Amino acid sequence: MADATSPVISVQGSTLVMSGALDARSSTRVREALYAHLSDHQHVVVDLDGVESVDLTTLRVLAAASRGADREGRHLTLRGCGPAVRRMLHLTHLIRVVDVDRTPSLTASA
């Protein structure tokens, strides 16, 4: 049974909307969703507006997917990065690896 912080991953066109806690326990689900979506779309946006917390494992998954997408001529953009996500991106220096869009997320207007 999932708890209140279990991640939810939904699809809105070429955008993956993630919410909840993204940690080592959810990294496999995040990885599978990313690569499946990247195989179907040239440019994928990952909306993280609803993410409460993120750990290094999940950030590495996002960074690896971003690098892999670039190698294949595709693109991955992170949108709606809250303070916790931005802090971790800066602390881990992965902010240099991923494209972060600073425009409001899809869920912010919903």
| Residue 40 near residue 9, CB atoms below 8 Å | no
Asked whether residue 51 carries a pLDDT value surpassing 50, the answer given is: yes
pTM for the structure as a whole: 0.87
What's residue 1's pLDDT? 44
N-terminal to C-terminal alpha carbon distance within the chain: 27
Domain spans in the chain, listed from the N-terminal domain onward: 8-101
CB of 44 within 8 A of CB of 76?
yes
User: What pLDDT, in 10s, does the model give residues 71-92?
Assistant: 999 999 999 999 989 999 999 9
Domain 8-101: give its CATH architecture. Answer: 2-Layer Sandwich (3.30)
Would the pLDDT of 56 be above 70?
yes
How far lies 108's CA from each of 39, 65, 82, in Å? 27, 25, 11
